[in-house]
Amino acid sequence: MSETQTGTTRIQRSQSSRTRSRKPKKNQIPYAIGVFAAIAAIGIILSTVSANLGIFWFTGSIFGFILQRSRFCFTASMRDPSLTGSTTVTRAVLIAFAITTIGFWAIKYGAFLRGLPIPGQGYIAPVSFATAIGALFFGIGMVIAGGCASGTLMRVGEGFTMQLISLLFFIIGSLWGAHDFGWWKLNVISEGRPVFLPDVLGWGGAIVVQLLLIGCLYVMADKWENRKKESDS
């Protein structure tokens, strides 16, 4: 028998042994049905206590499923371009920003036209030095933890035990931040100035500038990925 035939025989034996040792996959459909039934039952029970609790439960479950299937993570959108050169998640986040920009603009502008109070104005926070400090520490923390809030919760649900540590310290940090928020608001945040783009650029100018900025970032992300692919090839 030639060396080629001998090598082929060994490869075939190796493949057949791996095939025999490979365990057949279990049918996951019964588990999926059970989980779905449990989610529905818990949602119904919560709805009897409060309608809002039921809505929050079902909404959270849907968002969790979407996050898990899409692998959507804000950390990955900022980290992947530097580590791997991929901007797939980055562009997905930018598309999400564009869609939410149009949606929120329509809601706010509709209220403005009808002379009603514009919803969400109480969430317009001043831009100050605290913004830069928060962005720096949050960026460092989510890179070390390997995920932001959405990514951490998603991976905890998938069974990644190391993310439980991230979740624990995420809760501790949030409680600590809530405890010290009064001092930051009085001494740092209040020194800034709230910026509402329609007040500066008008309603039309605000959405045009916002979408143009998102579009420019999308083009830059796409070119960055293509350049990385060319340099690696």
DSSP letter string, 52-98: HHHHHHHHHHHHHHHHHHHT--HHHHHHHHHHT---HHHHHHHHHHH
Q: What is the pLDDT of residue 8?
A: 53
Model-level pTM greater than 0.75?
A: no
What is the rounded distance in angstroms from the CA atom of residue 124 to the CA atom of residue 193?
10
According to the per-residue pLDDT averaged within each range, which of 32-46, 74-88, 108-122, 209-223 is highest? Answer: 209-223
Q: Which domain, by its residues, includes 83?
A: 71-232
* 183 shares a domain with 84: yes
Q: What is the predicted pLDDT for the residue at 92?
A: 87
The token duo for 201 is 């650029």
- Is 114 found in the same domain as 56? no
Whether residue 142 is found in the same domain as residue 154: yes
- In contact, 65 and 57? CB cutoff 8 Å: no
Average pLDDT over residues 145-169: 80
Please indicate, yes or no, whether residues 25 and 120 belong to a single structural domain of this protein: no
- 65 and 79: one domain? no
Return the sign of the alpha-carbon dihedral for residues 217, 222, 223, 224.
Answer: positive
- Based on the fold, state whether residues 6 and 100 are members of the same structural domain: no
| Separation in Å, CA 80 to CA 73, 89, 221 | 10, 8, 11
